[in-house]
Amino acid sequence: MENDVSLEPVPGYTLEEEPYYLPLADEVELFEAAYQQRLPVLLKGPTGCGKTRFVEFMAHRLYRKNGQSTIRQPLQTVACHEDLSATDLVGRYLLKGEETVWQDGPLTQAVKEGAICYLDEIVEARKDSTVLIHSLTDHRRILPIEKLGAIMEAHPDFLLVISYNPGYQNVLKDLKPSTRQRFVAIEFDYPHQEEEARIIEHESGVDSVRASQLALLGQKVRNLKTHGFDEGVSTRLLVYAGQLMVQGVAERRACETAVSMAVSDDNDVQRTVAELADAIFPPS
């Protein structure tokens, strides 16, 4: 069927420029190796530790760096949620006037064009959508489109990447072995203090002293994992705090806004984080 309502790719998604990513271990090489063999990849790690950024970085490296590919959108990212159904991934009929027209979903688009499809937080999605990817992740590399009564073979460049956060998802939402054992897993964690400081410095533009202070704060707050909040403060939040500082917000206030309030609703935890920030940053 003719696809005449496809959306224009957002410039950021075309990945013309290389996203910043600081490799922490051998994840780049691993991912490249997996890609060469078209092995589906599972990225494990806590929120905000750089999984999405890593995929973007890899997509750029694999598709754009040396002008390897002319594909419009080398990376299709889908943030999964509990109401995300197979239809949302594959595509659906839309009403247009008195007619119905077919709209490809992001997965179908990637399969068709040979992009990387990145399903973020896959366990959040409904079960029917997880099962859908099974046939794409083994030797068959096909996508059945039930509503069209068709089966689509994947483009040779197509790769499926999913992310999964074992930390806070409850037992009910654990990834089923039948799904999980179709992926090679690359594990992520928050960077070490020095590396995180570099990342914060780069991403937020804050000076190196404050960047390492933010990294120290991050490290200390992460020691509190068991208390009231599911994960430690993410690198992303620390970057936000740095960005607020660059905008002239006082250090302690920036940490309060971007870190204390953001990590937890528990007053005592917020207070503790604020006390930590007070200890780390000199009074302005």
Partner 1 sequence: MSSVDDTIASTIFQLKQVSQDTADRFAALAVELPKRLSTDDFEEYAGICVSIAESGWRSFVPVNLLIDIARFEDVDLLRVARFGNSLSNYSFEPASRYLETVRSLARSGRLDRLPAMEAAGNRLAKSNPGATTLIAQFFEVSRLILQDDTDQGTPWFKLVEATSGETRADVAKLLQLSLAAVDSAHPVNWPQVLRFQQLSTSSALTYLEKAPVLSRKLEPKLFDRLEELLLLHVSRLESLIDIALSLELPATELAVVLELGDKIGESDVLVAFLECASELPLAREAVLRAWLQHGLRANAGNARAMKAYVQLDSLDSVRTLDALKGQVNFHDHRRTFDLLAESLSARPIEVVGFEDEESSLRSLSGLPETNGRQVRLPASVNLFEDRDDNFGFYKVSLFHQIGYVEFGCFPEIGGIRRTLQEFEDSRLAERLFVIVEDARIDWQLSVRYPGLAPQLARQKSRAAEQRHPPGSELAQYLEFMVLAGLDALPEEKMLPAVANRLCSLVSSMKTPDALVSDSLEVASQCYELLAAWSGEQSGHRHYQAGNQLAMPDELPPPIDYRGELDVEQVESVLRLEAVLEELQDEVTDDAVQDGPQISMPISEQDRIDVGELKKGDVDAGVAVLMSELDAQLLDEDPGMLEELLDLGNKQQLLEFLSGIGARSRDAEKHRYDEWDYEIGDYRPAWCTLYEYADLDEDLGYADRTMQEHQDLARRIRQQLNKVKPEMLRKVKGVIEGEDLDLERSIAYMVDRKAGLTPEERIYVQRQRKDRDVSTLFLLDMSASTDDIIHDPDAPAIEPPDVDDDEYLVQYFQQRREYEKSARRIIDLEKQSALLMADALESLGDAYSVCGFSGYGRDQVDYFLCKDFDESLNARTRGRIGGIKPCRSTRMGPPIRHATQRLVETGSRIKALIIISDGYPQDHDYGTDRNSRDYGLMDTMKALGEAKQQGVLTYCLTVDPSGHDYLRAMCPDSQYMVIQDIDQLPEELSRVYRSLTG
Binding mask 32-71 for partner 1 (x = CB under 8 A): ----------------------------------------
Which residue spans within the chain are E strands per DSSP? 41-44, 75-79, 91-96, 99-104, 116-120, 142-145, 150-153, 159-164, 184-187
Q: Is 13 in the site for partner 1 (CB under 8 A)?
A: no
**What count of other Cβ atoms lies within 10 Å of the Cβ of residue 281?**
20
Q: Which of 100, 178, 181, 208 binds partner 1 (CB under 8 A)?
A: 100
Q: Which of 134, 178, 227, 247 binds partner 1 (CB under 8 A)?
A: 227
Q: Is 272 in the site for partner 1 (CB under 8 A)?
A: yes
Q: If we measure between CA atoms, which residue out of 133, 53, 127 comes closest to residue 90?
A: 133
Q: Which of 138, 174, 207, 275 binds partner 1 (CB under 8 A)?
A: 275
Q: If we measure between CA atoms, which residue out of 67, 63, 52 comes closest to residue 20?
A: 52
Q: Closest distance between partner 1 and the C-beta of residue 40, in Å?
A: 28
Using CB atoms within 10 Å of the CB of residue 208, give its burial: 0 to 12 exposed, 13 to 18 middle, 19+ buried.
Answer: exposed
Asked if 40 and 182 count as a contact pair (C-beta separation under 8 A), the reply is yes
Backbone angles phi, psi at 163, to 5 degrees: -120, 155
Residues 70-99 close enough to bind partner 1 by CB under 8 A: 83, 87, 92-95
Q: State how far Cα 99 lies from the chain centre.
A: 36
Q: Is 224 in the site for partner 1 (CB under 8 A)?
A: yes
What are the C-alpha distances in Å from 35 to residues 28, 50, 157, 179, 188? 11, 19, 9, 19, 18
Q: Which of 28, 30, 216, 249 binds partner 1 (CB under 8 A)?
A: 216
Q: If we measure between CA atoms, which residue out of 128, 124, 158 comes closest to residue 141?
A: 158
Residues 135-154 close enough to bind partner 1 by CB under 8 A: 147
Q: Which of 68, 178, 223, 247 binds partner 1 (CB under 8 A)?
A: 223
Backbone angles phi, psi at 261, to 5 degrees: -70, -30
Interface with partner 1 (CB under 8 A), residue total 30
Q: Is 130 in the site for partner 1 (CB under 8 A)?
A: no
Q: Is 276 in the site for partner 1 (CB under 8 A)?
A: yes
Q: Which of 44, 53, 64, 220 binds partner 1 (CB under 8 A)?
A: 220
**For partner 1, the closer CB: 265 or 268:** 268
Partner residues linked to 99 by β-bridges: 96
Max Cα-Cα span within the chain? 66
Give CA–CA dist 131/47, Å, rounded: 24
Q: Closest distance between partner 1 and the C-beta of residue 219, in Å?
A: 8
Binding mask 238-267 for partner 1 (x = CB under 8 A): --------------x---------------
**For partner 1, the closer CB: 113 or 195:** 195
Residues 168-197 close enough to bind partner 1 by CB under 8 A: none
Q: Footprint of partner 1 on this chain (CB under 8 A)?
A: 83, 87, 92-95, 100, 147, 213, 216, 220-221, 223-224, 227, 252, 268-269, 271-273, 275-283
